[in-house]
């Protein structure tokens, strides 16, 4: 399936003419920063057997976007199902392209990073610490990097991330 791509300029024009912009990123990413006109519909929260209805008509125009365009590209079939029977488009380059074009975004006050970025920072810090400590303190410290690596593999296979669960309970991540 190949849903047509629109540049940020084309999206801006279509929004003026009544198009709807749907942000498929996670809710935490949307809360951190989003395009003012965008509605948050996280693709990961949509159950394939119970598709969400956006209550659109065939003459409507719906544009989906994510951060870089990779998630919308990977989920084209789900976007098409979600947007049917309207005309469906994807924002080429996602929110990064939108910002590069100089268009405004809404940023959260306080600037809490999205949870997955926090996980990446924490995992990277632990791996680097384990490697440095293993090289300078004790070879046993390499285990820290190995354990984090196993956790990342497990999260990738199962979709369940223990580190994300722990980080989500921290005070700055509670909404």
Residue 82 sits in a domain whose CATH number is: 3.40.250.10
For residues 100 and 124, membership in a common domain is answered with no
Q: What is the pLDDT of residue 10?
A: 97
For residues 102 and 71, membership in a common domain is answered with yes
Burial 145-155 (b: 16+ CB within 10 A, else e): beebeebbeeb
Q: What is the pLDDT of residue 53?
A: 59
For residues 143 and 68, membership in a common domain is answered with no
pLDDT string in tens for the chain (175-residue length) = 799 999 999 999 999 999 999 999 988 889 889 999 999 999 888 766 555 556 677 888 999 999 999 999 999 998 888 888 889 999 999 999 999 999 999 987 766 788 888 899 999 999 999 999 999 999 999 999 999 999 999 998 988 899 989 998 888 887 6
DSSP code of 97? Answer: H
For residues 73 and 154, membership in a common domain is answered with no
Q: What is the pLDDT of residue 49?
A: 58
For residues 20 and 91, membership in a common domain is answered with yes
What is the spatial distance between Cα 82 and Cα 164, in angstroms, rounded to a whole number?
Answer: 28
Last residue of a domain, which of 75, 107, 139? 107
Neighbours of 93 (CB within 10 A): 20
Q: What is the pLDDT of residue 175?
A: 63
For residues 88 and 119, membership in a common domain is answered with no
Its domain, for residue 88, covers 5-107
For residues 90 and 137, membership in a common domain is answered with no
Question: 79 catalytic, yes or no?
Answer: no
Last residue of a domain, which of 86, 107, 128? 107
Alpha-carbon dihedral of residues 57, 41, 159, 155, nearest 10 degrees? 140
Which residues on neighbouring strands pair with residue 38, listed in sequence order? 21
For residues 17 and 78, membership in a common domain is answered with yes
Given the residues 61, 66, 79, 161, the one annotated as active site: 66
For residues 59 and 135, membership in a common domain is answered with no
For residues 90 and 133, membership in a common domain is answered with no
C-alpha 101 chain-centroid distance: 20
Last residue of a domain, which of 91, 107, 123? 107
If one counts the domains in the chain, the total is 2
């Amino acid at each position: 399936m190949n849903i047509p791509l629109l540049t940020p300029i084309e999206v801006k024009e279509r929004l003026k003419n009544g198009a709807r912009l749907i942000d498929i990123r996670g809710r935490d990413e949307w809360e951190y920063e989003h395009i003012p006109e965008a509605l948050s519909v996280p693709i990961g929260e949509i159950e394939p057997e119970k598709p969400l209805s956006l209550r659109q008509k065939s003459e409507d125009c719906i544009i989906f976007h994510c951060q870089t365009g990779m998630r919308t590209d990977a989920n084209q079939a789900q976007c098409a199902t979600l947007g049917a029977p309207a005309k469906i488009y994807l924002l080429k380059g996602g929110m990064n392209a939108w910002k590069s074009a100089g268009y405004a975004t809404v940023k959260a006050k306080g600037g809490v990073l999205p949870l997955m970025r926090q996980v990446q920072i924490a995992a990277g810090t632990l791996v680097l610490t384990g490697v440095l400590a293993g090289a300078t303190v004790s070879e046993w410290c390499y285990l820290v990097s190995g354990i984090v690596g196993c956790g990342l593999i497990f999260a990738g296979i199962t979709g369940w991330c223990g580190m994300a669960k722990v980080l989500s309970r921290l005070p700055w991540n509670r909404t």
